[in-house]
Amino acid sequence: MKRFSILAFALISTLANAAGGEFVLSGADLHTVSHGVIEKGEILVRDGKIAALGARVDAPAGVQRIALDGKQVYPGLIASDSLLGLTEVDAVRATVDMAESGAINPNARALVAIDADSELLPVARSNGVLTVHVVPRPSEDGLLTGQSALVKLDGWTWEDMSLVASVGVHLAWPSTRTPPWLPAQAQEKAAEAARRKFAAIDTAFREARSYQAARKQNPQSPTDLRWEAMLPVLEGKQPLFVHANEAVQIREALALAQREKLRLVLVGGMDAWHFADTLKARGIPVILGSSHQLPQRRWESYDSVYTAAGKLAAAGVRLAIANEGGASDERNLPYQAASYAAFGLGRDAALRAITLGPAEILGVDQRLGSLDVGKDATLFVADGDALENFTKVERAWIQGREVDMSNKQTRLYEKYRGKYQGKPRN
């Protein structure tokens, strides 16, 4: 497998195969994720779904065949903790809709603020990130930040894009960790702020429970949007995503989940491996944050972040890997997985953690995450190993519809190549 292909940039001029169509991808190695690699295999796509796959598929005569000899086909990557659509230029406040004010916003819905025309979306898509879990962030005081949405990177509006309108409610666990070099007064301030936040979490769950009881007794009692949004979480129908990196945070979050009998998903989880057995025993999955982070503590080994995923996987913890590098960096999701792969997770598990792993945790593994019959034909073609930075993603389909791989950046590239070729500025 030659990975260092030096291809001139090729703009895909025609997009084949609108949804509803039928076609076969043939000749590529199929990275199914669920059942290994099918070398030089075939996929039959029909009505946006994978109708068949294998070394050879039975396809109707005359069906369009797309030759992908020497290429690699992967299920679309799933960004499992993303800001895509909620921000355009981070430093420009007017373009940022990621964090509602106040502490308790379980009713806030990420879905409705996703800008389908964000220039950032096609950039992520062109590197194989085809499905995105868009997650609201905490404001200064933020605790319950809102409901996340799962969307595909294709559609005229957020409604078109929506796969799961509300995946669950997110809780940003307060940190008690402050740099030791902060002045004592600032330390005390931070500790006090954290104490008040803990109290606010307790209060929120108590009040939500009282609302739950009141509504049960009298369904006509007035609506409270905040506590209404908490009902699926309290009833265990939706997971509570707790964002926590530090051991102390994770310890406290685990205690809350047990107390309130919640379905917990841990997000971030730099220190989660300290609790690997507990997480496994209690069936709590982890959406692990970026590998491209520094160790938190001086004494930790240089690879302490890189090795975290491998430790969790070895303990049998269900795992997804996210990219916390921000919306504009979402295209680099596979390389976050790669650094975990290099330090103990291994290539296959790393790929799984950005495809089938998140599909399972987000409850869409019947539709997404692997190349299997019956699943959405959401997949991409690359000229090599998708975990490698030098690999080029060449084509992609979302639910059987081929997507445009050009974006603002490729357009600028072409424009300025033109400058040096003596073309007039247009």
Partner 1 sequence: MATARKRLWGVLAGLACATAAGMAAAVQLPNANPVEGLRDNTPGFIALTQARLVVKPGQVIENGTLVMRDGVIVSAKAGGEIPAGALAIDLGGKTVFAGFIDANSEYAQSSEPAPASAAPPAAAPYTPAPQQGARHWSSKVRPERDVSRTLKPDPKKAETLRRLGFTSVLSAPDKGVFRGQSALVTLGDSIRLNEVLLKPRVAQHLAFEMSKFPSAEYPSSLMGAVALVRQTWYDAIWQRDYQAWAQRQSNPPRAEANLALDALQDSLAGRQPVVFSAEDELDYARVFALAQEFGLKLVLAGNGREYRDLARIKAAAVPVIVPLNFPEAPAVEDPERALELSLADLESWEWAPFNARRLAESGIPFAFTATGLKKPEEQFWANLRKAVSSGLDEQYALAALTVQPAALLGLGQRLGSLEPGRAAQLVVADADLFRSDKARIYESWIDGRRYVLADAAAPDPRGSWNLQWSGVQGPATLEISGELNELLAKAGDQSFPVVLDNRRLTLYPAGSLLGQRTERFPVSLQLDGGSAEGRGLIDGTREFRLSATQTAPKPRAPAKPPGVPALPSDEARFPAGEFGRAAPPKVQNVIVRHATIWTQSGQGKLEDADLAVADGRIVAVGKGLKAPAGAIEIDARGKHVAPGIIDTHSHMAVAKGVNEGTHAVTSEVRIGDALDPTDMTVYRQLAGGVTAAQLLHGSANPIGGQSQTIKLRWGEDADGLRFAAAPPSIKFALGENVKQSNWGPQFNQRYPQTRMGVEQIDLDSLLAAQDYLAKPAKGAAPQRRDLRLEALAEVVQGKRVVHIHSYRQDEILAFARIAQRFKIQPVFQHILEGYKVADVLAQIGAGASGFSDWWAYKMEVKDAIPYNAALLQSQGVVASFNSDSDELGRRLNTEAAKAVKYGGMSETDALNLVTLNPARQMRVADRVGSLEPGKDADFVIWSASPLSALARVEQTWIDGRKYFDRDEDLAERTRIHQARERIIAKALPERIKALARKDKKDGEKKDDKPAAPNEEHVHGNEAVQYANLRGPYHNSEPVNTCSAQEAH
The residues binding partner 1 (CB under 8 A) are 4, 6-9, 88-92, 119-120, 140-141, 177-183, 186-187, 189-190, 192-193, 196, 247-248, 251, 271, 274, 292-299, 301-303, 326-329, 331-332, 335, 338-339, 341-343, 347, 387-392, 409, 412-413, 416-417, 419-420
Question: Rounded to 5 degrees, what are φ and ψ at 352?
Answer: -60, -35
- Residue 31 beta carbon to partner 1: minimum distance, rounded to whole angstroms: 15
- Residue 416 beta carbon to partner 1: minimum distance, rounded to whole angstroms: 5
Q: With respect to partner 1, which residue has the nearer C-beta, 173 or 211?
A: 173
- Residue 329 beta carbon to partner 1: minimum distance, rounded to whole angstroms: 7
As beta bridge partners, residue 397 has 379, 402
Q: With respect to partner 1, which residue has the nearer C-beta, 56 or 415?
A: 415
- Residue 81 beta carbon to partner 1: minimum distance, rounded to whole angstroms: 17
- Residue 244 beta carbon to partner 1: minimum distance, rounded to whole angstroms: 12
Q: With respect to partner 1, which residue has the nearer C-beta, 322 or 338?
A: 338
Residue 115 CA, chain-centre distance (Å), reads 17
Residues 6+ apart with CB under 8 A from 267: 81, 135, 170, 241, 242, 243, 244, 286, 287, 289, 322
Q: With respect to partner 1, which residue has the nearer C-beta, 110 or 350?
A: 350
Report d(CA 402, CA 400) in Å as an integer: 6
Q: With respect to partner 1, which residue has the nearer C-beta, 87 or 147?
A: 87
CB 228 within 8 A of CB 167: no
Residues 6+ apart with CB under 8 A from 179: none
Report d(CA 52, CA 24) in Å as an integer: 9
Residues in the chain: 426
Residues 6+ apart with CB under 8 A from 13: none
Q: With respect to partner 1, which residue has the nearer C-beta, 218 or 421?
A: 421
DSSP 109-164: BGGGG--TT-THHHHHHTTTEEEEEE-----TT-SEEEE-EEEES--SSHHHHEEE
- Residue 55 beta carbon to partner 1: minimum distance, rounded to whole angstroms: 28
- Residue 332 beta carbon to partner 1: minimum distance, rounded to whole angstroms: 7
Q: With respect to partner 1, which residue has the nearer C-beta, 376 or 385?
A: 385
